[in-house]
Amino acid sequence: MDGRQPCRWCEQSFLRKSNLLQHERTHDACARTLPTSSTLEADCRPVGGVSPPAPIGRPGPARPRVSGSPARPDAPATGSAATSSSVVDSADGVVAAPAPTLHSLPCLTRPVIFGHATERVWQFYKKFPDMERTRLLVRPAERVLPSRFVTEEHKRMRLFALSAGGSGLSQKGKAEYWESTVAVERAAMRMAAEADVRRKKRKRGKNGRGARVKVEVHPGPLESAFPTASAFVRSLKGEQNRCLSEQRWRETEISVRDKVYKFFSRDLMEVATEALVSATKVVLRGARRWGADGVRVRTNTLDSDLYLTEQEDVVRMHGGKTHKGMALPVFVMGVQLFSDAALVSWNGGTSAILLVARSFFRVCSNYPAALCGRTCCSDLPLTGLTDSDTFSLFCYQLAPSLYFARALQPTWSIPSGFAFPTSRRESRSG
């Protein structure tokens, strides 16, 4: 012997004990990743349910295991190759392990992982208790009252108070907004009341002059709905809760390295169902489009290569299903995600240089392998100028100024929201 310590699971030997222990952890990790139904796991199982497993085919005393066990002693026997090949010594009832063969070795030196990558990735994230820590942002205990903003004027005031400046007015700003609006409303109501009094015919008294009619000023629509500024502010807060409750916003506490991060989200499938069910026109199938000259035309997501490939895949897997005796149409519900950590599209920017984007995507679209199939490119309305026109214009007019000035000169600006809406646009739509 040269002093090397052999691994009891495979043929390798190591000079140092630490290296051996590190190597044996590989087998342990392999055993943890093995599914129950795996044939290889059956090979790893100790013969006759003896635990801990005896060193297979190696003379000498059994070494204690370092940590864990690649075998599962409590697992039922399934008639595996290891079980069938085991030999029972009738004299003392001790189970003799079979001779080590390549197939009976529990694992290779490198971890062998079974199962599809998709399932393993999902199992990896199911281990985290994030979904258990997810709760609705507005708790059911917080009673959500019906909205008091019922008239059109109220709704406009609500929109202004909640969206002015992007994130809405402050608490003090909302109160001042109510006070100024109510002051104008009171003046208007008083003028209306005085006009009513003037129109009324005075009753003539004994002296020939009628008694003075008392002017009654009624509260306006805003003051009658919200008598005080605090009531207005409170109602706006209630609107926020009502909106969050209706849209089912959730709050998740994600714990990473002893720090807790709060994540606010909605369920994507709920949003998708709401959008599809409430839509008046939904396109279920995409199709390839061809131009007049026989060239493939890609205009949007539904005729992109990626979507059509997925469509063929989905129809192949789910086609032919029935629902209550009727054929069930199958379609690919395309999902487009957009996140912007750099906040370029979120910082109030409203324009971009069209030509840069056009030239970039035009150039890229000539390459068959990569970007031409990307749906982002096909979403852009690339019409109008031809390739050579756009390219030449960019080269001779814009590029030098960009190069020397090193600053974007918005010679030809477009609203950036044509493909990805900015916050301003979103707040308007909301």
Partner 1 sequence: MVYPIRVRFPNVETGKSEWVTIGYIPAIKHKKGATKAEEEVVRLVRGEVLQRCLAVILNQVVPDSKYGVTMHLHEHGTVLAVPRIVLYACDQPEERHVLGMKLSGCYYPCSYCKEHSSTLACPSMGAAPRDVPRTLDEQLEAGTLRAAGERPGRVKELGDWSSVSPIVPVLGAVHGLGTGSFSLFDIFGFDTLHVSAVSIFLARLICARVFLSLFSGTFESLLFVVCVFRRLTAPHFCSRFVVRDLSPGLLLLLDSPRS
- Pick out residues in 84-113 that bind partner 1 (CB under 8 A): 111, 113
Q: Is the separation of the CB atoms in 72 and 30 below 8 Å?
A: no
Tokens of 314: 């989905």
Q: 73 or 329: whose CB is closer to partner 1?
A: 329
Q: Which amino acid appears at position 59 of this protein?
A: P
Q: How far is the CB of 334 from partner 1 (least distance, A)?
A: 4
Q: How far is residue 370 from each of residues 45, 337, 373, 379, measured CA to CA in Å?
A: 47, 19, 6, 16
Q: How far is the CB of 63 from partner 1 (least distance, A)?
A: 21
- For residues 46, 51, 57, 59, the Cα torsion angle rounded to the nearest 10 degrees is 180
Q: 105 or 352: whose CB is closer to partner 1?
A: 352
* Binding window for partner 1 (CB under 8 A); candidates: 147-155, 182-190, 220-228, 417-425: 417-425
272 sits near partner 1 (criterion: CB under 8 A)? yes
Tokens of 35: 């599914």
Per DSSP, the three-state class of 376 is: helix
268 sits near partner 1 (criterion: CB under 8 A)? yes
Binders of partner 1 among residues 320 to 339 (CB under 8 A) are 321, 323, 326, 328-339
Binders of partner 1 among residues 367 to 406 (CB under 8 A) are 367, 370-371, 373-377, 379-380, 387, 391, 394-396, 398-400, 402-403, 406
343 sits near partner 1 (criterion: CB under 8 A)? yes
Q: Is the separation of the CB atoms in 174 and 233 below 8 Å?
A: yes
Q: How far is residue 276 from each of residues 107, 192, 375, 392, measured CA to CA in Å?
A: 49, 48, 20, 43
DSSP letter assigned to residue 152? H
Query: Can you tell me which of 148, 175, 349, 385 binds partner 1, judged by CB under 8 A?
Result: 349
Q: Is the separation of the CB atoms in 364 and 371 below 8 Å?
A: yes
CA distance from start to end of the chain: 79
Query: Can you tell me which of 141, 279, 292, 295 binds partner 1, judged by CB under 8 A?
Result: 279
Query: Can you tell me which of 356, 382, 385, 393 binds partner 1, judged by CB under 8 A?
Result: 356
Q: 189 or 408: whose CB is closer to partner 1?
A: 408
Tokens of 166: 């992007």
Query: Can you tell me which of 62, 267, 287, 411 binds partner 1, judged by CB under 8 A?
Result: 267
Q: How far is the CB of 17 from partner 1 (least distance, A)?
A: 17
Count of residues in contact with partner 1, rule CB under 8 A: 120
Paired with 327 in beta bridges are 322
Q: How far is the CB of 106 from partner 1 (least distance, A)?
A: 18
427 sits near partner 1 (criterion: CB under 8 A)? no
Q: Quote the CA–CA distance of 169 and 125 in Å, as a whole number.
A: 40
